[in-house]
Amino acid sequence: MESDADVETIVDLMESELGPSSRKQDGSARTKFNSFLKKHIDRNLSITTITADHITKDLFGKFLAFLFKDPDIHWQTSMSYLSSIKRQLEEVTGTDLFRSDPDWYRRCRRHLQKQYLMLSISTGKKLKQQAPPMTIEDLRSISTILFLRNDKKSLVDRTLLNNQWLAIGRSSDVGTIHFSDLHWQGNFFLIDVTRIKVSQQQTISIFCSPICWSIDPFHALACQLLVDPYNTSPKVFSQVTATTTDAHVAAYINRLLKSVYDYDHEAKLTQNLQSHSARRGGAAFASSNASVNLSDLAHRGLWSMDGFATLLEYISPTAASDQNVAKVLGGWTDTKQGGHPPTLACFDDESHHTFTRVSDYAKAIRLLHFAKISPKGFADCLTATLLMYYRDTLKVSPQHIVHQEMQRVHATLSPICQCQEELLDWGSKIRKRFVMDNILALPLHIVKQSLSTEEQAEQFVGIHTFADTLERLLLGHQQLVLANEELKNMMRQILDRLSSTPTRGSSDRSNAAPEQARETEPAPTNPLRPPLVGQSWPAGLTTLKGKKLSDFLVQYIMENLGSLPKDSSNRGQKDCLRAVEILSYVADLSSIPPLPPSSCEAERVRWISAMQRMANRCELTLVNGLTRAANGAQGQRNRRRSGKLTGIVKGWSELTDQQRAAFRLMPRITFSGS
C-alpha cells in the first residue's frame, strides 16, 4: 500500500503542475503587481512580503485600474494577469477575499472587459490581437523562398512549416518530432505528434500534394535528408534544440517568418504572419472544402471536445476522416480519388537495363541519405518524388544543392550516362504514372501536359466534360479501364519474359558476370564514396559555421577525407584535421571496421547507425570535458560548451597540456555494432 506521504506528494505535484508558458506568465504578472505596490500602495511591499490583511477590495480595484491604464497591456493579457495574481495571492497569503465573495470577483472581470470593449470602439483597434491566418498561397511562397535560399537549414525550416500546416498544429506540436515518429503505410505516412499544450499524443496522416513541389511534404523531407546525410540527430528538426520550450519554438518560427517576409520583394505574403498563423490558416483552408466535417477538423487540430474527442482518438490513425482532412491540407480538391504518391513501380515494365539503373540509383540514395527512413518503400517513394519534381525545381534553381547531390549520386552509377537527360527521363515516367494514378483528382491542364491524347483516351475519355449526373457511369467506366490496364500489363510482362529468355550460352555468360563483378568490386575498406584522383576538399566543409562535430566525424570516415591531399590555404580543412586529432584523445578510430559493400545492404545500414552512435558519444564526451575544464578555470563564467566543431577546436586550444592529458585517462570510445 502507498504511504500517506506518497499520496500527499502526488497531490502536491498535481496541484503545482504548471507548464513553462504558465510559469513565465506568472513571473510577468508578479513583476507587474510588484510595480503596482511600489507606486501606489507601499514601496516596501511585494507579493512575497504582503499579508492577507493588506488584500482588500479597494486594493484589488486599484490594481484593475492600474492594468487598464497601462498602454502595453491589452485585454487578454490583463485577464490572464488577474487570474494569475488571484491564484498567487491565495497561495502566498491564504486570503479568503475571493472565495468569500466570488460574485464580486466575477463582476470585476466583467467591468474590466467592458472598459476594454469601450476603448476598442472609440479607438477602432481590435479587442483581441490575433495572428493573421496563413493561406495556401502564403505556404507556397514561403516554401519556394526557403528552397531558393539554397542551404541546409532553410530546407529543414521548409519541412518544419510544411508539417505545422499539415498538422494544423501549434509551434510546440511539431518542434519535437523524431524520425522514429514517422510510419509508412504504403500510400501515405503517419506522424506521432505530441500536443504539449493539452498534454496529449496523437497520430495523424500525411499525403503527397497534387503536382505542387513547393508544398509537397514528401519532397520537403526528401530534400532535407538528401543534402545533409551525415546529420546524427534523431530529431527531424535538429535546428530546434533539445532544450527548446514551446515558447522558444514559437519565437523561432516568428523569426523565420519575419526573415522570409523581408525577402519577399514582390509583396505576395500576408503581413505579420506569426507562429500561430499556420494553425488558423490550415483550419480555415480545410473547412472551406465541402467534404471536410467540422468534427474531423476539430480532431485533426485536437481542439478539446471532451468525450467526443476521446472517441475519435480511438479510430483516428486509420480513419478515412483524418485522411480526408490530410488530403485537403495537402492541396487535393477531390479527396475520394486523389492522394496516390509517386512510385518507382512504373519502371517494372521498362527494359532490364533501365530497371537496374533506377534500382541502383534508389539504393545508393537510400543507403546514405535516407538511412533514417524505413521501410524501403518509404525511402523509394521519397526518391521518386525528387525525380518527379526534378524538371520543375531545375527551372527554379539550376545550381541548387539538391540537384548537385542528385547528380553526384548518378555519377556513381556504372556505366556513366548523360546525367541530366536520364534524370529528366526518369522523372517524366514517374510523373506520367502519378497522373494516371490520380487522373480523376487532377486539374485538366495537368493531365494534358503529362499525357498524350492517345493516353488520355486510353485511360478516361473526356472525364472532365461529363456532367454530375453521369458520375456513376464514369466510375463504372473507370473500373473497366483499370481492369483492362491490368490485363494489358500482364500480357506485356509475359511477352517481355518470352522475348528476354536467354540462350544457354548467354546464360553461362550472365552467370559469369556476377563473379567478374565480385572480383573487380572495391575492397570493403573503401568508403561509401571513395575519393577520386584529383578530388578536392568537399565544398560543404570549407565553411564550418554550425557544423556539429558528430556530423563531421561520420562524413570524414564515410568519405575517407583523411586520404585527400592537404591544402595549406584551406582553413576549413585545417580545422577539420585538427578536430580529428582531438577526437583521437577520446576515441579509438582504428576500431572502426571497414564499410560493408553495397551488396550487403542490411549490414551497411547497421554500420552507419553504429558510426552515428559512436560520433555522438565522442561529441558528448568532449563537450562535457571542455565544459568542466572551462568552468573550473578561474575567471571563467559558468557556461556549457556546444557541440559545434569550431567551438570544440577553439575550446581545445585554450586547454593546458595537463588538461589535455587528462582526456587520455578516460576510457577510449570504440566502435560497437550492437
Find out whether 557 and 630 touch, Cβ atoms under 8 Å.
Answer: no
State whether 176 and 263 are in the same domain: yes
User: Would 245 be classed as within a structural domain?
Assistant: yes
Q: Are residues 433 and 575 in the same domain?
A: no
Beginning with the edge strand found earlier in the chain, give each strand of the sheet holding 200-206 in spatial order.
Answer: 182-184, 189-195, 200-206
CA–CA dist 601, 152 (Å, integer):
27
Is 656 part of any domain?
yes
Could you tell me the residue range of the domain that residue 599 belongs to? 541-664
Same structural domain, 171 and 94: no
CB 52 within 8 A of CB 93: yes
Point out the domain boundary residue: 444, 467, 497.
497
User: Do 252 and 137 fall into the same domain?
Assistant: yes
Note whether residue 672 is domain-resident.
no
Cα R_g (the chain), whole angstroms = 31
C-alpha closest to that of 274 among 179, 426, 402, 171: 171
619/460 Cα distance (integer angstroms): 58
65, 141: one domain: no
- Give me the helix-helix angle, 419-437 and 352-368, nearest 10°: 90
**Up-side HSE of residue 3: CA atoms within 13 Å toward CB?**
3
Same domain, yes or no, for 193 and 94? Answer: no
Task: Establish how many alpha carbons lie within 13 A of residue 7's alpha carbon, considering only the half-sphere containing its beta carbon.
Answer: 4
Residue 316: inside a domain:
yes
**Residue 475: inside a domain, yes or no?**
no
Structural domain total, the chain: 3
DSSP 373: S
What is the pLDDT at residue 565?
Answer: 87
Of 91, 123, 155, the domain-final residue: 123
User: What is the DSSP code string of 400-463?
Assistant: -HHHHHHHHHHHTSSS---HHHHHHHHHHHHHHHHHHHTTTTS-HHHHHHHS-HHHHHHH-TTT
**Residue of 349, 297, 302, 299 whose CA lies nearest to 328:** 297
Do 105 and 194 fall into the same domain? no
* Element containing residue 330 per DSSP (H, E): none
> CB 206: neighbour CB atoms within 10 A?
22
Which pTM was predicted? 0.70
Flag whether 192 is in a domain: yes
Q: What is the pLDDT of residue 72?
A: 81
Which residue, among 473, 600, 609, 606, has the nearest Cα to 554 in the 3D structure? Answer: 609
What pLDDT shows up at residue 10? 42
Co-location of 140 and 272 in the same domain: yes
CATH number at residue 318: 1.10.443.10
Q: Is residue 655 part of a domain?
A: yes
Q: Left (φ > 0), alpha (ψ -120 to 50) or beta: where does 462 sit?
A: left
Last residue of a domain, one of 75, 91, 123: 123
155 and 185 co-located in one domain: yes
| Residue 555 domain flag | yes
- Number of other residues whose CB lies within 10 A of the CB of residue 334: 16
Contacts for 23 with CB less than 8 Å, ≥ 6 apart: none
Q: Count CB neighbours of 259 within 10 A.
A: 14
pLDDT at 441: 82
Query: What pLDDT, on the 0 to 100 scale, is given for residue 618?
Result: 92
- 592 phi and psi, to 5 degrees? -75, 120
What's the average pLDDT block by block, 10 residues per block, for the chain (674 residues)? 47 49 79 87 84 87 88 83 88 87 88 85 74 89 94 94 91 88 92 85 91 94 93 88 63 91 78 88 83 77 57 46 84 84 92 92 92 90 96 94 94 87 94 88 76 57 46 65 75 67 48 44 43 67 85 89 86 90 91 85 87 92 87 59 86 88 88 77
**Are 451 and 459 a contacting pair, CB within 8 Å?**
yes
**How far apart, in whole angstroms, are the C-alpha atoms of residue 510 and residue 488?**
29
Q: Are residues 114 and 163 in the same domain?
A: no
3-state secondary structure 270-295: CCCCCCCHHHHHHHHHHHCCCCCCHH
Question: H or E stretch including 159?
Answer: helix 152-167
**DSSP state for residue 351 in the 8-state scheme:** -
The Cα diameter of the chain in Å comes to 105
**Other C-beta atoms lying within 10 Å of the C-beta of residue 103:** 7
